[in-house]
């Protein structure tokens, strides 16, 4: 099967087929797609003992370097082996027979060439908006990898290799169970694993950002993910990853017990700084809001945030909170009879996880969220400076969930300090939903996707402060079963044991979005929309249907630049 395709449009193609030929209309050259098993995926380069799925260009070159002996196929045909990348051209080839009658590919007319040129122009203007295609290629790639790695062996060996995907344990290197637990939860965060296995993340490494590691931490994390999903051993020693983490966050040096949530926070922050697509961060002056235009103000705050922060971590894990401060100056009485001058200050702040308090009355995760969102009085040493009263006064503080991310991480604050500095643990059992966790009653913004979530991983802490141990539960992407990760040991878990226990410490949720296809079938999916300053229709507040709302809150002197940010 051949297609007449302009040379420059042949950049990113992933199809399942035994063979596919592309013909250039300008010089009649044919480009043969290489195959991995029966699946066209990408060149595989050995890196650290395991093959990395790699995007390559039309000359068979990977990462800008020609691979010796791999650039040309049989009979001089150039080899095209490419993985789809976000930001590159998403190309669906159509045979000319679908729009040009029964003519063969050799009977190409000038009209066909013009039509292909028009398609190329549209393709060059198109920027991929989600990472769904990366998910598809990774699913195919993992299966093909295990098939090829077991080549020459029996089917049982192939199946055993595939069965290990995502079920590889992590060796405890001396009280490093806190790290192992967090890493297993992140490994089973499917969109994140997809990104590091099937996306050209190296092209997004920010080598200029002194706040990160210039890619060292992210690269070591990617290598860890390869071992957990492509490895042939039942356990792996994450020593190199720990070394890179220690260089970024020195508090994790040594082999003493640490806090799993603290590691999680530093790791995600480090990956964000490594992969921040913003090379030069502009100065942004914060705007004080008064609560009269929350929808518009929240959009503008997100826009300003994206001017300085754009990465896979922002795309995946970050949402937005509304923080409201209200003057309660007892020297003044408002018209409604309450204390205060009436001044209100509203800010919209990004968040990467929610740290929820636990009280004696908390029985479920919803109770903890309600407590988190309760209004609190600031007095004494915590008094707030009111710009209208021009003095420090009593005030109320209220936090609301405004915009929720595709991947929601919940941290239960089980460890507390007494007035004397003594650390203790709260062992109150907390109930949490495994499926259909509906947060619509707590999300205050009217925009964005419906906040319905499904649990996929839990980090547990069992024991007390001085003699505790971390483990994890996670749901496997292939068989849908739950597994218990206890350092190097991985066993089946009973779903019935999840949902209510005193050990749940960090919970990981996917947002569920129901999508109907052309056949009317409905599927659930977690959609990660790539955040960009020039694609407001992909922002969590707007999506495509509310782009006009965004334009209405912009100032009159704002100039929309075509191609601004280049979709990054």
β-bridge mates for residue 54, sequence order:
43
Contact of 198 with 128, CB cutoff 8 Å: no
Contact of 358 with 368, CB cutoff 8 Å: yes
Contact of 194 with 138, CB cutoff 8 Å: yes
Residue 527 DSSP symbol: -
Residue 6 DSSP symbol: -
SS3 437: strand
Q: Is 228 exposed, middle or buried (0-12, 13-18, 19+ CB in 10 A)?
A: buried
**Contacts of residue 383, Cβ cutoff 8 Å, sequence gap at least 6:** 392, 393, 394, 395
Query: What amino acid positions are annotated as catalytic residues?
Result: 177, 469
Give the count of beta carbons closer than 10 Å to the beta carbon of residue 499: 16
For residues 207 and 221, give the distance between their C-alpha atoms in angstroms, rounded to a whole number.
17
Tokens (6 digits) for 237: 């020693």
Residue owning tokens 């740290």: 355
For residues 377 and 370, give the distance between their C-alpha atoms in angstroms, rounded to a whole number.
16
Kindly tell me the sign of the dihedral angle through the C-alpha atoms of 458, 515, 546, 437: negative
State phi, psi for 184 to the nearest 5 degrees.
Answer: -65, -35
β-bridge mates for residue 46, sequence order:
51
Residue 212 DSSP symbol: S
- Which element (helix H / strand E) includes 313? helix 312-317
SS3 357: coil
Contact of 232 with 168, CB cutoff 8 Å: no
Region of 359 please: left (phi>0), alpha (psi -120 to 50) or beta. Answer: beta
Give the count of beta carbons closer than 10 Å to the beta carbon of residue 222: 22
For residues 341 and 333, give the distance between their C-alpha atoms in angstroms, rounded to a whole number.
7
């Amino acid at each position: 099967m051949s297609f007449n395709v302009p040379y420059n449009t042949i950049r990113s193609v992933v199809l399942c087929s035994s063979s596919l030929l592309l013909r250039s209309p300008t010089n009649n050259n044919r480009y043969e797609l290489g195959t991995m098993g029966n699946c066209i995926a990408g060149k595989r380069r050995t890196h650290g003992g395991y093959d990395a799925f790699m995007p390559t260009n039309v000359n068979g070159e990977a990462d800008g370097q020609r691979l010796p002996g791999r650039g040309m196929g049989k009979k001089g045909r150039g080899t095209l082996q490419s993985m789809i990348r976000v930001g590159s051209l998403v190309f669906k080839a159509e045979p000319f027979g679908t729009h040009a009658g029964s003519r063969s590919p050799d009977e190409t007319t000038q009209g066909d060439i013009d039509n292909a040129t028009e398609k190329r122009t549209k393709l060059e203007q198109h920027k991929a908006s989600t990472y769904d295609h990366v998910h598809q290629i990774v699913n195919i790639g993992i299966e093909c990898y295990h098939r090829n790695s077991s080549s020459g062996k029996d089917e049982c060996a192939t199946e055993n290799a595939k069965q290990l995907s995502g079920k590889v344990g992590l060796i405890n290197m001396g009280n490093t169970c806190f790290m192992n637990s967090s890493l297993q939860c992140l490994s089973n965060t499917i969109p994140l694993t997809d990104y590091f296995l099937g996306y050209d993340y190296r092209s997004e490494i920010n080598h200029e950002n002194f706040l990160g590691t210039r890619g060292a931490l992210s690269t070591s994390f990617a290598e860890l993910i390869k071992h957990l999903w492509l490895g042939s051993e039942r356990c792996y020693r994450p020593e190199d990853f720990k070394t890179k983490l220690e260089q970024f966050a020195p508090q994790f040096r040594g082999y003493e017990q640490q806090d799993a949530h603290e590691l999680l926070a530093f790791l995600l922050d480090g990956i964000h700084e490594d992969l921040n697509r913003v090379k030069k961060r502009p100065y942004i002056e914060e705007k004080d809001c008064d609560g009269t235009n929350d929808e518009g103000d929240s959009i503008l705050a997100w826009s300003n945030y994206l001017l300085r922060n754009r990465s896979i971590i922002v795309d995946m894990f970050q949402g937005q909170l509304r923080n409201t401060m209200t003057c309660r100056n007892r020297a003044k009485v408002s018209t409604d009879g309450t204390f205060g001058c009436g001044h209100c200050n509203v800010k919209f702040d990004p968040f990467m996880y929610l740290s929820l308090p636990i009280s004696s009355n908390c029985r479920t995760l919803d109770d903890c969220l309600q407590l988190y969102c309760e209004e609190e009085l600031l007095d004494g040493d915590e008094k707030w400076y009111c710009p209208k009263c021009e003095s420090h006064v009593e005030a109320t503080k209220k936090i609301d969930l405004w915009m929720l991310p595709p991947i929601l991480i919940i941290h239960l604050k089980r460890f507390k300090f007494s007035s004397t500095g003594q650390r203790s643990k709260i062992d109150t059992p907390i109930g949490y939903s495994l499926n259909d966790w509906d947060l619509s009653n707590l999300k205050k913004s009217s925009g964005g996707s419906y906040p319905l979530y499904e649990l996929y991983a839990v980090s547990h802490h069992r024991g007390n402060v001085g003699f505790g141990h971390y483990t994890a539960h996670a749901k496997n992407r292939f068989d849908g079963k739950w597994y218990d990760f206890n350092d190097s040991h991985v066993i089946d878990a009973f779903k019935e044991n999840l949902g209510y226990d005193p050990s749940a410490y960090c919970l990981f949720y996917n947002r569920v979005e129901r999508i109907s296809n052309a056949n009317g079938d409905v599927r659930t999916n977690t959609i990660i929309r790539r955040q960009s300053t020039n694609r407001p229709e992909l922002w969590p507040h707007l999506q495509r249907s509310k782009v006009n709302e965004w334009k209405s809150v912009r100032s009159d002197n704002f100039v929309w630049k075509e191609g601004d940010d280049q979709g990054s």
